[in-house]
């Protein structure tokens, strides 16, 4: 029987050598290959480590040259058996964290995977409190490890979503660590533009690791995470700003360039307002898809709710629907959204109204836009005059608290006006503007009254000072006369 096993082992070794894999003297593999149904031995024949000449003993320890199992697996010979918990990743790190050793194997892989994993979201302790949540083999397998470029690898782009969802779509498992984390990311991904293309066999569109990273995955609330709000646009632009990479998809690659100078981009990237919209705010994250013509206003309306409601009841709603125009995007653009200013209203060349409304074409809309702009300018002028008068009165030391308070009402009306313009109703727009003008007029009156009082007091003080001076002089002369008479009588 022993000779039979040796013969079978010789045949197995010969087959491995014929496949280009040499394991001269590796009795571990020879023996395990002879065991029918030994999955690890079967998988290891196609393992990238096997092609590099790495043997079973390099990970499990022991003496691979001994034919006797007891001697080959003797702890005195360094046999460690099957690693458990963090010992698994530590065994991998023996080579993968050693730059010189990796270089000898001709590898150009980074050697910080294990250190990155330890500080990642997956590097936190498992429920046992004795090991990390994920080990190297969780994603890469144990004995059938192949290059990430190999289509059979569980971390190949066409397979990585399935690998990640083994845990992230498992409600029982995820509830153990973070009950609030959704478990439908995988299903959402399938509905996304990325997921649909990935499902058709295209390995280029983004997968989990494209956005979240691989060994150094961090939570979205971690400022170092590639999907942290401030970092997210840069993460998306790695692909979407690469003209060569995106060429076959025939979509623009200037989205990030436009976004970074937009009102949203400035707020997020320059002012670090994490509440400002990033790419995923409008496109979604795992289910990322550009909003359709009908849904643009609904997406924008999640933040700009009042604007969306006003537009929905405006005469432009039907006109846009008939022409199949996206609502908010038509006037405000999408990635390059500029800050709303008064210049956008009216019939001048820089006003968005003039794109569709002209004096001889759509004249009714032209007249309304022109009227609205006149009201805007009127409110702005009144507010400017009132502000100047209030500041002047305050510098003169006069009490203008009420005027300043009403001036705030004028400015509030200015903001409300920019919202009310989405109703495209001249009457409603005028109501808001009139409130602002009334507040500005009140502030002007109060400030002008305070300034007039200031000058009245100055004139009164001057006259009073003159009268008092004259009285003092008269009194002085009178006293001198009395003193002179007294001297003459004496």
Residue 215: inside a domain, yes or no? yes
Kindly state whether residues 231 and 362 are assigned to the same domain: no
Give the number of other CB atoms < 10 A from CB of residue 21.
18
| Contact indicator for 248, 266 with CB cutoff of 8 Å | no
Q: Domain tally for the chain?
A: 2
Residue 50: inside a domain, yes or no? no
Q: What confidence score (pLDDT) does residue 25 get?
A: 62
Kindly state whether residues 235 and 371 are assigned to the same domain: no
Kindly state whether residues 351 and 476 are assigned to the same domain: yes
Kindly state whether residues 476 and 354 are assigned to the same domain: yes
Kindly state whether residues 358 and 478 are assigned to the same domain: yes
Cα 100–Cα 115–Cα 97 angle in degrees, nearest 5:
15
> In whole angstroms, what is the distance from residue 194 CA to residue 178 CA?
26
Cα 428–Cα 433–Cα 439 angle in degrees, nearest 5:
135
Residue 459: inside a domain, yes or no? yes
Q: What confidence score (pLDDT) does residue 24 get?
A: 52
Domain span at 240: 150-251
Residue 371: inside a domain, yes or no? yes
Residues of the chain with pLDDT under 50: 1-23
Tens of pLDDT along 413-467?
999 999 999 999 999 999 999 999 999 999 999 999 999 999 998 888 888 899 9
Q: What confidence score (pLDDT) does residue 163 get?
A: 97
Kindly state whether residues 352 and 481 are assigned to the same domain: yes
Residue environment code for 296-327, b if the CB has 16+ CB neighbours within 10 A, otherwise e: bbebbbeebeebbebbeebebeeebeeeeebb
Q: What is the DSSP string of 60-92?
A: H-S-TT-SSHHHHT-GGGT---S--THHHHHHH
54, two tokens? 């790495």
Tens of pLDDT along 179-224?
999 999 999 999 999 999 999 999 999 999 999 999 999 999 999 9
Residue 65: inside a domain, yes or no? no
Kindly state whether residues 229 and 345 are assigned to the same domain: no
The residue from 196, 228, 251 where one domain ends is 251
Residue 461: inside a domain, yes or no? yes
Residue environment code for 113-140, b if the CB has 16+ CB neighbours within 10 A, otherwise e: bbebbbebbbbeebeeeebbbbbbebbb
The residue from 214, 229, 251 where one domain ends is 251
Predicted TM-score (pTM) of this structure: 0.80
Q: What confidence score (pLDDT) does residue 460 get?
A: 86
Kindly state whether residues 348 and 446 are assigned to the same domain: yes
The residue from 227, 251, 275 where one domain ends is 251
Q: Which residue, among 52, 214, 48, 12, has the nearest Cα to 144 in the 3D structure? A: 48
Kindly state whether residues 349 and 481 are assigned to the same domain: yes
Residue 97, judged by CB atoms within 10 A of its CB (0-12, 13-18, 19+), counts as middle
Q: What confidence score (pLDDT) does residue 206 get?
A: 96
SS3 162: helix
Residue 350: inside a domain, yes or no? yes
Kindly state whether residues 468 and 369 are assigned to the same domain: yes
> In whole angstroms, what is the distance from residue 124 CA to residue 134 CA?
9
CATH number for the domain spanning 389: value is: 1.20.140
Residue 465: inside a domain, yes or no? yes
């Amino acid at each position: 029987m022993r000779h039979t096993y040796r013969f079978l082992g010789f045949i197995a070794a010969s087959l491995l050598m014929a496949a280009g894999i040499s394991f001269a003297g590796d009795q571990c593999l020879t023996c395990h290959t002879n065991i029918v149904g030994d999955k690890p031995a079967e998988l290891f024949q196609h393992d990238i480590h096997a092609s590099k000449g790495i043997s079973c003993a390099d990970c499990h320890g022991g003496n691979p040259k001994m034919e006797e199992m007891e001697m080959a697996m003797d702890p005195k010979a360094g046999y460690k058996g099957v690693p458990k918990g963090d010992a698994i990743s530590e065994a991998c790190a023996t080579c993968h964290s050693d730059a010189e050793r990796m270089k000898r194997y001709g590898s150009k892989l980074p050697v910080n995977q294990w250190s990155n994993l330890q500080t990642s979201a997956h590097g936190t302790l498992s429920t046992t409190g004795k090991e990390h949540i994920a080990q190297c083999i969780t994603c890469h397998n144990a004995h059938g490890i192949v290059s990430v470029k190999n289509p059979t690898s569980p971390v190949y782009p066409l397979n990585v979503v399935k690998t990640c969802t083994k845990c992230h779509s498992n409600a029982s498992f995820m509830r153990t660590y973070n009950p609030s984390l959704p478990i439908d990311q995988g299903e959402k991904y399938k509905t996304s533009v990325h997921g649909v293309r990935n499902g058709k066999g295209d390995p280029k569109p983004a997968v989990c690791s494209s956005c979240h990273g691989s060994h150094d995955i961090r939570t979205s609330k971690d400022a170092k995470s590639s999907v942290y709000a401030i970092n997210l646009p840069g993460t998306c632009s790695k692909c979407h700003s690469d003209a060569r990479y995106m060429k076959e998809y025939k979509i623009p690659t200037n989205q990030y360039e436009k976004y970074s100078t937009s009102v949203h981009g400035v707020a997020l990237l320059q002012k670090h307002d994490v509440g400002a919209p990033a790419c995923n705010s409008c496109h979604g994250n795992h289910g990322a898809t550009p909003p359709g013509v009908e849904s643009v206003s609904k997406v924008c309306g999640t933040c700009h709710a009042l604007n969306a409601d006003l537009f929905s009841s405006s005469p432009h709603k039907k006109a846009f629907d008939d022409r199949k125009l996206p609502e908010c995007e038509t006037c405000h653009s999408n990635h390059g959204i500029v800050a709303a200013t008064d210049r956008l209203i009216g019939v001048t060349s820089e006003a968005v109204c003039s794109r569709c409304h002209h004096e001889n074409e759509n004249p009714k809309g032209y007249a309304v836009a022109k009227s609205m702009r006149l009201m805007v300018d009127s409110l702005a002028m009144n507010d400017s005059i009132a502000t100047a008068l209030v500041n002047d009165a305050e510098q003169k030391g006069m009490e203008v608290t009420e005027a300043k308070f009403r001036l705030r009402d004028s400015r509030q009306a200015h903001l409300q006006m920019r919202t009310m313009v989405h109703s495209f109703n001249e009457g409603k727009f005028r109501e808001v503007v009139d409130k602002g003008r009334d507040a500005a007029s009140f502030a002007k009156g109060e400030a002008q009254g305070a300034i007039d009082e200031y000058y009245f007091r100055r004139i009164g003080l001057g006259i009073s000072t003159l009268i008092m001076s004259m009285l003092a002089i008269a009194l002085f002369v009178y006293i001198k006369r009395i003193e002179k008479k007294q001297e003459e009588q004496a």
